[in-house]
Amino acid sequence: MNFEANLKRDAQGRLFIPPTQRPDGSWRAAKYVKEGYVPQDEVDSYRSKGKKFADDAKAMGVPGFSGPTPAMSQSRPTNADIDASSKPVKMSKNQKKRQKKKEKKNVDEFQIEEVTDHVTEKVAELKVADNQKPADGEKKKKALLKKLRAINDLQTKVDEGSVAPDKEQIEKLGRKAEIEAQLAALS
């Protein structure tokens, strides 16, 4: 569409777009424009230098190749032609990596399923009751042994003279016989 053919000049020589009628019957007002005006719809979209170079390279084809250029050969092979040739499919390096990764993932999932099955079987064999708790006697015995060890350590320090026992420490040393008796009762 040649837009410049639609531009008019008024009595002073200024360019303007004449009024036009909309589809609903109303009129658009005349619009004054500068010399060289191109409407937004007719402006070519921006193409960077790289994009222009890439497009030109596609049009020219491969440098040094004397066969038909892509612009010359418009026909492309169809899926039927490709299937009929029955050539072995060559996979790219990334496709091969993805294939190996997929196979490894399938093997790993199978191994994980085997391990989880084995663990669930072992858990079912154990059947640990929820209400079982460690024996209270063992806890008391450990606590008494710990107290006895602390009393013996304190006794050795007092015997060496490095500690002068205060009132609480003397009471603690006095309970040694009582703790030994409780320990003997539990054993």
- Render pLDDT for 161-185 as a digit per residue (tens, 0 to 9): 888 889 898 898 898 889 899 888 8
Where does residue 109 rank: exposed (0-12), middle (13-18), buried (19+ CB within 10 A)? Answer: exposed
Put simply, whether the predicted model's pTM sits higher than 0.85 gets the answer no
Residues 50-72 pLDDT 10s: 998 888 888 777 777 776 655 55
Is pLDDT above 90 for 78?
no
Q: How confident is the model at residue 116 (pLDDT cuts 50, 70, 90)?
A: confident
